Structure 1
Amino acid sequence: MKSICLYFQVHQPYRLQTYRFFDIGINHDYYDEFANSSIMQRVAQKCYLPMNRLLLDLIKEYGSAFKVSFSISGMALEQFESCAPDALKSFQELAKTGNVEFLAETYAHSLSALSDKEEFMRQVKMHAQKVEELFGQKPTTFRNTELIYSDDIGATVAGMGFDVMLTEGAKHVLGWRSPNMMYTNAINPNLKLLLKNFRLSDDIAFRFSN
Protein backbone atom coordinates (compact mmCIF):
# COMPACT_ATOMS: atom_id res chain seq x y z
CA MET A 1 0.00 0.00 0.00
CA LYS A 2 1.33 3.43 -0.93
CA SER A 3 1.65 6.13 1.71
CA ILE A 4 0.12 9.57 1.18
CA CYS A 5 1.57 12.56 3.02
CA LEU A 6 -1.22 14.96 3.96
CA TYR A 7 -0.41 18.49 5.00
CA PHE A 8 -2.87 21.27 5.68
CA GLN A 9 -2.11 24.96 5.40
CA VAL A 10 -3.79 27.40 7.80
CA HIS A 11 -3.51 31.16 7.40
CA GLN A 12 -5.66 34.11 8.39
CA PRO A 13 -4.47 37.61 7.43
CA TYR A 14 -5.15 40.69 9.50
CA ARG A 15 -7.90 42.76 7.88
CA LEU A 16 -7.34 46.49 7.52
CA GLN A 17 -10.07 48.99 8.27
CA THR A 18 -11.00 51.80 5.93
CA TYR A 19 -8.38 54.50 6.39
CA ARG A 20 -9.16 57.93 4.96
CA PHE A 21 -6.92 60.85 4.16
CA PHE A 22 -8.20 62.80 7.16
CA ASP A 23 -7.28 59.93 9.49
CA ILE A 24 -3.58 60.46 8.81
CA GLY A 25 -1.83 61.63 11.95
CA ILE A 26 -5.00 61.23 14.03
CA ASN A 27 -6.18 57.63 13.93
CA HIS A 28 -3.48 54.99 14.36
CA ASP A 29 -5.81 51.98 14.55
CA TYR A 30 -5.09 50.36 11.21
CA TYR A 31 -6.63 46.94 11.80
CA ASP A 32 -10.31 46.08 11.66
CA GLU A 33 -10.47 44.23 14.96
CA PHE A 34 -14.18 43.46 14.63
CA ALA A 35 -13.68 41.84 11.22
CA ASN A 36 -10.60 39.94 12.40
CA SER A 37 -12.43 38.54 15.42
CA SER A 38 -15.74 37.73 13.72
CA ILE A 39 -14.13 36.10 10.68
CA MET A 40 -11.78 33.98 12.79
CA GLN A 41 -14.60 32.84 15.07
CA ARG A 42 -16.84 32.01 12.12
CA VAL A 43 -14.15 30.06 10.27
CA ALA A 44 -13.21 28.25 13.47
CA GLN A 45 -16.80 27.07 13.98
CA LYS A 46 -17.40 26.09 10.36
CA CYS A 47 -13.98 24.71 9.43
CA TYR A 48 -11.20 24.29 12.00
CA LEU A 49 -13.17 22.75 14.86
CA PRO A 50 -15.17 20.18 12.84
CA MET A 51 -12.12 19.27 10.75
CA ASN A 52 -9.93 18.77 13.80
CA ARG A 53 -12.62 16.62 15.43
CA LEU A 54 -12.68 14.46 12.30
CA LEU A 55 -8.89 14.14 12.27
CA LEU A 56 -8.84 13.24 15.95
CA ASP A 57 -11.47 10.55 15.37
CA LEU A 58 -9.45 9.12 12.47
CA ILE A 59 -6.30 9.04 14.60
CA LYS A 60 -8.16 7.22 17.37
CA GLU A 61 -9.55 4.73 14.84
CA TYR A 62 -6.40 4.03 12.83
CA GLY A 63 -3.61 4.85 15.28
CA SER A 64 -0.13 5.18 13.80
CA ALA A 65 -1.45 4.32 10.33
CA PHE A 66 -2.94 7.82 10.01
CA LYS A 67 -0.72 10.88 10.33
CA VAL A 68 -1.01 14.45 9.06
CA SER A 69 0.90 17.71 9.27
CA PHE A 70 -0.10 21.35 9.63
CA SER A 71 1.56 24.55 8.52
CA ILE A 72 -0.08 27.36 10.50
CA SER A 73 1.16 30.90 9.98
CA GLY A 74 2.18 33.00 12.96
CA MET A 75 -0.58 35.48 12.16
CA ALA A 76 -3.17 32.71 12.35
CA LEU A 77 -1.71 31.45 15.63
CA GLU A 78 -1.94 34.94 17.12
CA GLN A 79 -5.59 35.20 16.11
CA PHE A 80 -6.34 31.74 17.50
CA GLU A 81 -4.93 32.88 20.83
CA SER A 82 -6.92 36.11 20.93
CA CYS A 83 -10.14 35.24 19.09
CA ALA A 84 -10.62 31.46 18.94
CA PRO A 85 -8.94 29.71 21.88
CA ASP A 86 -11.14 26.63 21.41
CA ALA A 87 -9.72 26.17 17.92
CA LEU A 88 -6.18 26.50 19.26
CA LYS A 89 -6.97 23.91 21.93
CA SER A 90 -8.21 21.51 19.23
CA PHE A 91 -4.85 21.80 17.43
CA GLN A 92 -3.06 21.21 20.73
CA GLU A 93 -5.14 18.07 21.30
CA LEU A 94 -4.01 16.83 17.90
CA ALA A 95 -0.40 17.57 18.81
CA LYS A 96 -0.70 15.42 21.94
CA THR A 97 -1.54 12.34 19.85
CA GLY A 98 1.97 12.20 18.40
CA ASN A 99 0.42 11.66 14.96
CA VAL A 100 0.42 15.31 13.90
CA GLU A 101 3.49 17.28 12.87
CA PHE A 102 3.60 21.07 12.89
CA LEU A 103 5.79 22.63 10.21
CA ALA A 104 7.79 25.84 10.26
CA GLU A 105 7.17 28.66 7.79
CA THR A 106 7.57 32.42 7.61
CA TYR A 107 5.78 33.99 10.57
CA ALA A 108 3.78 36.48 8.51
CA HIS A 109 3.15 34.21 5.50
CA SER A 110 5.48 36.57 3.66
CA LEU A 111 7.59 36.54 0.50
CA SER A 112 10.73 37.55 2.40
CA ALA A 113 12.66 34.57 0.98
CA LEU A 114 12.69 36.35 -2.38
CA SER A 115 14.12 39.66 -1.22
CA ASP A 116 15.66 39.69 2.26
CA LYS A 117 17.54 36.68 3.59
CA GLU A 118 17.99 38.13 7.08
CA GLU A 119 14.30 38.99 7.42
CA PHE A 120 13.40 35.56 6.09
CA MET A 121 15.56 33.82 8.69
CA ARG A 122 14.21 36.08 11.45
CA GLN A 123 10.60 35.21 10.59
CA VAL A 124 11.31 31.49 10.33
CA LYS A 125 13.04 31.42 13.73
CA MET A 126 10.20 33.46 15.24
CA HIS A 127 7.63 31.05 13.84
CA ALA A 128 9.52 27.94 14.97
CA GLN A 129 9.65 29.35 18.50
CA LYS A 130 5.90 30.01 18.43
CA VAL A 131 5.18 26.46 17.27
CA GLU A 132 7.35 25.00 20.01
CA GLU A 133 5.71 27.25 22.61
CA LEU A 134 2.15 26.29 21.64
CA PHE A 135 2.52 22.65 20.56
CA GLY A 136 5.65 21.38 22.28
CA GLN A 137 7.30 20.48 18.98
CA LYS A 138 10.51 21.83 17.50
CA PRO A 139 9.82 21.88 13.74
CA THR A 140 12.17 19.86 11.55
CA THR A 141 10.26 20.37 8.29
CA PHE A 142 9.88 23.70 6.52
CA ARG A 143 7.20 24.96 4.13
CA ASN A 144 7.78 28.29 2.44
CA THR A 145 4.95 30.64 1.53
CA GLU A 146 3.12 29.27 -1.54
CA LEU A 147 5.74 26.48 -1.59
CA ILE A 148 8.26 28.88 -3.18
CA TYR A 149 11.61 27.14 -3.65
CA SER A 150 15.03 27.60 -5.16
CA ASP A 151 18.26 25.77 -4.42
CA ASP A 152 19.58 28.90 -2.68
CA ILE A 153 16.48 29.14 -0.47
CA GLY A 154 16.78 25.42 0.24
CA ALA A 155 20.42 25.81 1.23
CA THR A 156 19.45 28.59 3.65
CA VAL A 157 16.71 26.40 5.12
CA ALA A 158 19.17 23.50 5.51
CA GLY A 159 21.63 25.84 7.20
CA MET A 160 18.95 26.67 9.77
CA GLY A 161 18.81 23.02 10.79
CA PHE A 162 15.76 21.75 8.92
CA ASP A 163 15.81 18.21 7.53
CA VAL A 164 12.94 18.43 5.04
CA MET A 165 11.34 21.12 2.88
CA LEU A 166 8.07 21.03 0.97
CA THR A 167 7.79 22.54 -2.48
CA GLU A 168 5.57 22.54 -5.55
CA GLY A 169 5.68 19.57 -7.91
CA ALA A 170 5.58 21.88 -10.91
CA LYS A 171 5.26 19.95 -14.16
CA HIS A 172 7.31 22.47 -16.17
CA VAL A 173 10.20 21.91 -13.73
CA LEU A 174 9.86 18.17 -13.21
CA GLY A 175 9.36 17.25 -16.84
CA TRP A 176 9.10 13.46 -16.95
CA ARG A 177 9.97 13.07 -13.26
CA SER A 178 7.32 12.19 -10.67
CA PRO A 179 6.24 14.47 -7.80
CA ASN A 180 5.74 11.31 -5.74
CA MET A 181 9.46 10.74 -5.29
CA MET A 182 11.74 12.30 -2.68
CA TYR A 183 14.46 14.63 -3.98
CA THR A 184 17.34 16.56 -2.40
CA ASN A 185 18.67 20.09 -2.51
CA ALA A 186 21.38 20.50 -5.16
CA ILE A 187 23.60 22.62 -2.90
CA ASN A 188 23.08 20.73 0.35
CA PRO A 189 21.89 17.15 -0.31
CA ASN A 190 21.16 16.71 3.39
CA LEU A 191 17.93 18.64 2.82
CA LYS A 192 15.20 16.29 1.62
CA LEU A 193 12.52 17.69 -0.70
CA LEU A 194 8.92 16.49 -0.67
CA LEU A 195 6.90 17.71 -3.63
CA LYS A 196 3.22 18.53 -3.79
CA ASN A 197 1.21 16.37 -6.16
CA PHE A 198 -0.90 19.21 -7.53
CA ARG A 199 -3.37 16.94 -9.34
CA LEU A 200 -4.18 14.91 -6.22
CA SER A 201 -4.24 18.07 -4.12
CA ASP A 202 -6.70 19.76 -6.49
CA ASP A 203 -8.86 16.62 -6.53
CA ILE A 204 -9.15 16.73 -2.75
CA ALA A 205 -9.59 20.50 -2.52
CA PHE A 206 -11.92 21.19 -5.44
CA ARG A 207 -13.41 18.03 -6.91
CA PHE A 208 -13.95 15.65 -3.99
CA SER A 209 -14.61 18.19 -1.24
CA ASN A 210 -18.24 17.15 -0.85
Structure 2
Amino acid sequence: MASDALLKAFGMDGPLHTAENDSRPTEAISLPSDAPEQTEREADTDADLKDYCTRITDTRKATKGRKLIYGTQSARAQFERHRSRIGVITGNERTHYEEWCRHTGVDVNATASHVEFRGFLWVEFPDLARKYVDAMKGHSGDPDTSDRAENRLIREWARDHGYDVSKRGRLSMEVRHAYRLAHRESADKESHAA
Protein backbone atom coordinates (compact mmCIF):
# COMPACT_ATOMS: atom_id res chain seq x y z
CA MET A 1 0.00 0.00 0.00
CA ALA A 2 1.20 3.49 -0.80
CA SER A 3 0.12 4.71 2.64
CA ASP A 4 2.37 2.10 4.32
CA ALA A 5 5.33 3.31 2.26
CA LEU A 6 4.51 6.87 3.27
CA LEU A 7 4.44 5.89 6.94
CA LYS A 8 7.81 4.16 6.63
CA ALA A 9 9.24 7.27 4.94
CA PHE A 10 8.27 9.22 8.06
CA GLY A 11 9.83 6.57 10.30
CA MET A 12 6.53 5.11 11.43
CA ASP A 13 5.94 1.36 11.40
CA GLY A 14 2.68 -0.51 11.26
CA PRO A 15 -0.46 -0.21 9.17
CA LEU A 16 -2.24 3.07 8.60
CA HIS A 17 -5.00 3.61 11.14
CA THR A 18 -8.35 3.68 9.35
CA ALA A 19 -11.96 3.22 10.37
CA GLU A 20 -11.94 -0.31 8.92
CA ASN A 21 -9.09 -1.56 11.11
CA ASP A 22 -10.03 0.44 14.21
CA SER A 23 -10.33 -1.88 17.20
CA ARG A 24 -10.90 0.86 19.77
CA PRO A 25 -14.24 0.91 21.58
CA THR A 26 -16.86 3.15 19.98
CA GLU A 27 -18.40 4.36 23.24
CA ALA A 28 -19.15 8.02 23.69
CA ILE A 29 -16.42 9.97 25.43
CA SER A 30 -17.52 11.39 28.76
CA LEU A 31 -16.08 14.59 30.10
CA PRO A 32 -14.39 14.57 33.49
CA SER A 33 -16.63 15.68 36.35
CA ASP A 34 -14.58 18.85 36.89
CA ALA A 35 -15.09 20.03 33.28
CA PRO A 36 -16.92 23.38 33.15
CA GLU A 37 -20.54 23.16 32.09
CA GLN A 38 -21.88 25.28 29.29
CA THR A 39 -23.18 28.61 30.56
CA GLU A 40 -26.69 29.76 29.77
CA ARG A 41 -25.34 32.41 27.40
CA GLU A 42 -23.20 29.84 25.55
CA ALA A 43 -26.23 27.55 25.29
CA ASP A 44 -28.33 30.42 23.87
CA THR A 45 -25.58 31.25 21.37
CA ASP A 46 -25.31 27.59 20.37
CA ALA A 47 -29.07 27.34 19.87
CA ASP A 48 -29.00 30.57 17.84
CA LEU A 49 -26.18 29.17 15.68
CA LYS A 50 -28.11 25.92 15.07
CA ASP A 51 -31.18 27.93 14.07
CA TYR A 52 -29.03 30.15 11.83
CA CYS A 53 -27.56 27.12 10.04
CA THR A 54 -31.03 25.75 9.28
CA ARG A 55 -32.41 29.05 7.93
CA ILE A 56 -29.50 30.85 6.23
CA THR A 57 -27.32 29.72 3.32
CA ASP A 58 -23.59 30.15 2.77
CA THR A 59 -22.49 33.58 1.51
CA ARG A 60 -18.95 32.67 0.42
CA LYS A 61 -18.35 33.10 -3.30
CA ALA A 62 -17.41 29.48 -4.05
CA THR A 63 -20.24 27.96 -2.00
CA LYS A 64 -22.91 30.67 -2.27
CA GLY A 65 -26.40 29.38 -1.68
CA ARG A 66 -25.41 26.03 -0.16
CA LYS A 67 -26.70 24.95 3.20
CA LEU A 68 -24.46 25.92 6.11
CA ILE A 69 -23.07 23.01 8.09
CA TYR A 70 -23.45 23.42 11.82
CA GLY A 71 -20.17 23.16 13.68
CA THR A 72 -17.93 24.31 10.86
CA GLN A 73 -15.62 27.28 11.19
CA SER A 74 -17.12 28.98 8.14
CA ALA A 75 -20.64 28.70 9.55
CA ARG A 76 -19.53 30.17 12.89
CA ALA A 77 -17.64 33.01 11.18
CA GLN A 78 -20.61 33.96 9.01
CA PHE A 79 -22.91 33.71 12.03
CA GLU A 80 -20.66 35.91 14.20
CA ARG A 81 -20.40 38.50 11.43
CA HIS A 82 -24.18 38.76 11.17
CA ARG A 83 -24.68 38.56 14.91
CA SER A 84 -22.37 41.53 15.52
CA ARG A 85 -24.62 43.67 13.32
CA ILE A 86 -27.77 43.16 15.38
CA GLY A 87 -26.47 45.04 18.40
CA VAL A 88 -25.71 48.20 16.43
CA ILE A 89 -28.77 48.64 14.24
CA THR A 90 -30.27 52.12 14.27
CA GLY A 91 -33.50 53.10 16.01
CA ASN A 92 -35.67 53.18 12.90
CA GLU A 93 -34.33 49.88 11.65
CA ARG A 94 -34.86 48.31 15.07
CA THR A 95 -38.48 49.48 15.09
CA HIS A 96 -39.12 48.13 11.58
CA TYR A 97 -37.28 44.90 12.41
CA GLU A 98 -39.37 44.28 15.54
CA GLU A 99 -42.61 45.01 13.64
CA TRP A 100 -41.53 42.63 10.86
CA CYS A 101 -40.73 39.89 13.42
CA ARG A 102 -44.15 40.27 15.05
CA HIS A 103 -45.85 40.19 11.64
CA THR A 104 -43.96 37.12 10.40
CA GLY A 105 -43.93 35.33 13.76
CA VAL A 106 -40.16 34.87 14.04
CA ASP A 107 -37.99 35.36 17.11
CA VAL A 108 -36.71 38.93 17.34
CA ASN A 109 -33.58 37.73 19.18
CA ALA A 110 -32.57 35.20 16.52
CA THR A 111 -29.67 36.21 14.29
CA ALA A 112 -31.27 34.47 11.31
CA SER A 113 -34.38 36.64 11.71
CA HIS A 114 -32.36 39.82 11.18
CA VAL A 115 -30.64 38.35 8.12
CA GLU A 116 -34.03 37.39 6.68
CA PHE A 117 -35.37 40.87 7.50
CA ARG A 118 -32.47 42.48 5.63
CA GLY A 119 -33.12 40.16 2.67
CA PHE A 120 -36.78 41.17 2.72
CA LEU A 121 -35.78 44.85 2.72
CA TRP A 122 -33.39 44.44 -0.22
CA VAL A 123 -36.14 42.80 -2.28
CA GLU A 124 -39.12 44.95 -1.29
CA PHE A 125 -37.56 48.27 -0.21
CA PRO A 126 -34.02 48.59 -1.63
CA ASP A 127 -33.77 52.34 -0.90
CA LEU A 128 -34.60 51.77 2.75
CA ALA A 129 -32.16 48.85 2.93
CA ARG A 130 -29.40 51.05 1.48
CA LYS A 131 -30.24 53.76 4.02
CA TYR A 132 -29.92 51.29 6.92
CA VAL A 133 -26.65 49.85 5.57
CA ASP A 134 -25.20 53.34 5.17
CA ALA A 135 -26.27 54.28 8.70
CA MET A 136 -24.55 51.19 10.07
CA LYS A 137 -21.22 51.75 8.30
CA GLY A 138 -18.49 52.32 10.81
CA HIS A 139 -20.54 50.55 13.48
CA SER A 140 -20.48 47.01 12.10
CA GLY A 141 -17.86 45.66 14.47
CA ASP A 142 -15.69 44.75 11.51
CA PRO A 143 -12.03 45.35 12.35
CA ASP A 144 -11.54 46.33 8.72
CA THR A 145 -13.65 49.49 9.23
CA SER A 146 -11.72 50.68 12.29
CA ASP A 147 -8.40 49.93 10.54
CA ARG A 148 -9.34 52.22 7.67
CA ALA A 149 -10.23 55.03 10.05
CA GLU A 150 -6.94 54.58 11.91
CA ASN A 151 -5.01 54.55 8.63
CA ARG A 152 -6.62 57.86 7.64
CA LEU A 153 -5.55 59.38 10.97
CA ILE A 154 -2.02 58.04 10.62
CA ARG A 155 -1.69 59.38 7.05
CA GLU A 156 -2.92 62.82 8.11
CA TRP A 157 -0.55 62.89 11.10
CA ALA A 158 2.37 61.67 8.95
CA ARG A 159 1.86 64.37 6.32
CA ASP A 160 1.64 67.04 9.05
CA HIS A 161 4.94 65.78 10.48
CA GLY A 162 6.93 65.63 7.24
CA TYR A 163 6.58 61.97 6.30
CA ASP A 164 6.04 61.12 2.64
CA VAL A 165 3.01 58.81 2.50
CA SER A 166 0.86 57.77 -0.43
CA LYS A 167 -2.89 58.37 -0.58
CA ARG A 168 -3.53 54.62 -0.70
CA GLY A 169 -1.73 51.40 -0.01
CA ARG A 170 0.18 50.02 2.90
CA LEU A 171 1.68 52.30 5.55
CA SER A 172 5.29 51.60 6.45
CA MET A 173 6.14 50.25 9.88
CA GLU A 174 8.36 53.29 10.41
CA VAL A 175 5.38 55.65 10.02
CA ARG A 176 3.10 53.49 12.18
CA HIS A 177 5.72 53.25 14.91
CA ALA A 178 6.38 57.02 14.87
CA TYR A 179 2.63 57.74 15.08
CA ARG A 180 2.10 55.38 18.01
CA LEU A 181 5.18 56.66 19.80
CA ALA A 182 4.09 60.29 19.39
CA HIS A 183 0.60 59.52 20.64
CA ARG A 184 1.90 57.49 23.57
CA GLU A 185 4.15 60.41 24.60
CA SER A 186 1.30 62.94 24.32
CA ALA A 187 -0.93 60.66 26.40
CA ASP A 188 1.83 60.37 29.04
CA LYS A 189 2.20 64.18 29.17
CA GLU A 190 -1.55 64.62 29.62
CA SER A 191 -1.68 62.07 32.45
CA HIS A 192 1.23 63.77 34.27
CA ALA A 193 -0.38 67.21 33.87
CA ALA A 194 -3.64 65.99 35.42
> What TM-score range do you get, normalising by the shorter chain?
under 0.3
Give the TM-score, by structure 1 length.
Answer: 0.21
Larger radius of gyration: 2
Which one has a larger percent strand, Structure 1 or Structure 2?
A: 1
**1 or 2 for the larger relative contact order (CA 8 Å, sep ≥6)?**
1
